[in-house]
Amino acid sequence: MASFHGTMINPQRFSRTQIKFYIIVLPIVLVMSLPILFIINHAFKPFDELFNYPPTFFVQRPTLDNFINLGKLAAQSGIPFSRYLFNSLFVTALSIILTLMVSTFAAFSFTFTEYRFKNVIFKFNQIALMFVPIAVAIPRYLIIANMQIIDTYLAHIVPMLAVPVGIFLLRQFMSQIPNELIDAAKVDGANLFQIYWRVVVPLVMPAIATVGILIFQSVWNNIDTSSLYINNAETLRTLPFFVQSIIQNTGNVVAGTGMSAASSLIMFVPNLVIFILLQGKVLNTMAHSGIK
């Protein structure tokens, strides 16, 4: 067990030498937890508590009315809430799988293969990091329209396949793999795909998990695809679009407050769960992505 000036680092049991760290960390954790606690409490507040003055932080009489009303509102539109949820889950899962494939293949080619204009293409990927989504909205729409995938599930997925920051992060992580390891695999008769799948992918799993989180957050919270590419197929729209349209559908900001709180919690929970499950890999990626 490592120590520094008598302080035990990561002790297996509680140590009094760590008390000074708890004194600093625990207040920070408490403050950073307040928004999460507020979102959870707000979603379960009855109508009158939502408009208490002064506002109350914790719910006093928890209720499921906000969630029930949310389901009823979706049913009134002719499309059940479960359909929006299914669309989001389906699109998000498929987008993560396909985007990780594209990103890892691209990063692998930039790192371990040689071909003309490789560095130029990678420079274009770096330039793409500077563009915000709104800057490429029109070209992206023209591509989707010319591919004739408007009003299909592919309209949700195709715009999300290119993730420049994911390719950059994976490439930086792959560049740390010793060339001797790749050469040894080639000597053993492994082809490029076998090197990619059996050697490289297991070694860069922390980076893949990090990119997966970025993709999940981008797709799960995305509204643009439902707004721009789904025109005549309401059943293909996703949960974020429905959440955004709640107040518009009710026509009353006050009446829609409770449902907005409930839907915000539904949108937030998957982000929190996935980050908690994969936070170790994310921290590992951040610690090593800049080290050669």
Mean pLDDT of the chain: 85
CA distance 150 to 228: 9
Q: What is the pLDDT of residue 263?
A: 85
Contact residues for 122 (Cβ-Cβ < 8 A; gap 6+): 110, 171
Q: What is the pLDDT of residue 247?
A: 59
- Chain centroid to Cα 223, Å, comes to 14
Q: What is the pLDDT of residues 235-281, one digit of tens each?
A: 899 988 888 877 566 555 566 778 888 888 888 888 888 888 877 66
- Chain centroid to Cα 130, Å, comes to 20
Domain ranges of the chain: 1-33, 78-288
Q: What is the pLDDT of residue 50?
A: 84
Q: What is the pLDDT of residues 39-76, one digit of tens each?
A: 899 889 988 888 888 888 888 889 898 888 888 887 77
Residue entry with tokens 């990780």: 100
Mean pLDDT, residues 136-157 taken together: 92
DSSP state of 195: I
Buried b vs exposed e over 136-167: b needs ≥16 C-beta within 10 Å?
A: eeeebbeebeeeebbebbbbbbbbbebbbebb
Strand (E) or helix (H) holding 202: helix 201-203
CA distance 92 to 89: 5
**What backbone torsions phi and psi does residue 178 show, to the nearest 5 degrees?**
-60, 135
Q: Does the pLDDT value for residue 291 go beyond 70?
A: no
Q: How many CB atoms lie within 10 A of CB 100?
A: 19
End-to-end CA distance of the chain: 27
Point out the least confidently predicted range of 54-58, 184-188, 206-210, 227-231: 54-58
Q: What is the pLDDT of residue 2?
A: 47
CATH topology of domain 78-288: MetI-like fold (1.10.3720)
Tokens, residue 123: 């420079």
3-class SS of residue 3: strand
Mean pLDDT, residues 205-219 taken together: 90
Mean pLDDT, residues 67-89 taken together: 85
The DSSP bridge partners found for residue 8 are: 3
